[in-house]
Amino acid sequence: MLKKIAILSMSAICAFAFNYDLKPQKVSSNVWCFFGKMEMPTKTNGGFMSNSCYIKTDSSYVLIDTGASYAFAQQAYQAMSKIEKLPVTTVISTHSHDDHWLGNNFYKEKFNAKIYGPSLINKDYNNKSQTRMHQVLSKNDIKGTKIIPVDIIVNETKTLTIGNKEIIIVPTGVKAHTSEDLFVYLPNEKVLFSGDIIMNGRVTSNRDGSVIGSLKAIEMINSKKWDVLIPGHGIDTSKTATDEITQYFTLLKQRVLEAIENEVSGTEISKVVTMDEFKNKALYEELNSKNVFDAFRELEFYEED
């Protein structure tokens, strides 16, 4: 009886929550991704703004970032089940921003999946927390979403063997997009999942990050031998996937340092450093001037190593 109630409850969530109309895209052998919108989270996109990927092993799926809600995760699994119906044994959360991991509890409840991730998720959130998605999405769309802790905190490089796949989780060890970022590498397939260290097609948000650390983390990623790179946001997975954000942070650092040398103040910095090359990228208006100001605060007393 309890099992029937649970099944009915899950069906109700799917029936009345936001319809994401998800279609998995194959990006490499045994890797499929759902690519998020190049937008801020809203009711009209259901918070679907980040990329979520499935790695198919010989007996299960491994998830890289589970999306913005229980409903998203449930619908993603339903879409992947049409390719092959396998259990999800492992979930890897690349960082602590909620658009990447609020689907975790679906996989925990349905499969008792083991969740790997940074310590910040456990430090900054508990089951009573209200994240950005709780504020943005309607009650129906966030229904079923529960904040659960990471099972295994990754603070050093960890190699997993899951079925026939070798999966390496690498912490950057520097403040980059956040103070604790992970990327995931499949050495045999030469596939890399960068989390939000890499974005393309849109301007990044550096609100919790570091210009200097981001450049170091990008260098770490580019030191790996990869043919396919899935960014945290964006659809370019080719060998040029890191070019845009490398240029953005390189120019941001250079121009802000030049402005500081010319005694431009914090109140004027966003008018002087405009990053015009990126005006046509998504979220430029929303995020660029804040990135410039934050870069000024970081670099104001910076001395090159």
Query: Would you kindly state where each structural domain of the chain is located, as residue ranges?
Result: 2-249
What average pLDDT score do residues 222-231 get?
98
Above pLDDT 70, what percent of the chain? 94
Quick one: average pLDDT of 58-87? 98
pLDDT digits (tens, 9 = 90+) for 278-305: 999 999 999 999 999 999 999 999 887 6
Q: State the average pLDDT over residues 66-81.
A: 98
Assigned fold of 2-249 = Metallo-beta-lactamase; Chain A (3.60.15)
- Name the strands in the sheet holding 61-64, side by side, starting at the edge strand that comes first in the sequence: 25-28, 31-34, 52-56, 61-64, 88-92, 114-117, 152-153
Q: Is the pLDDT of residue 11 over 80?
A: no
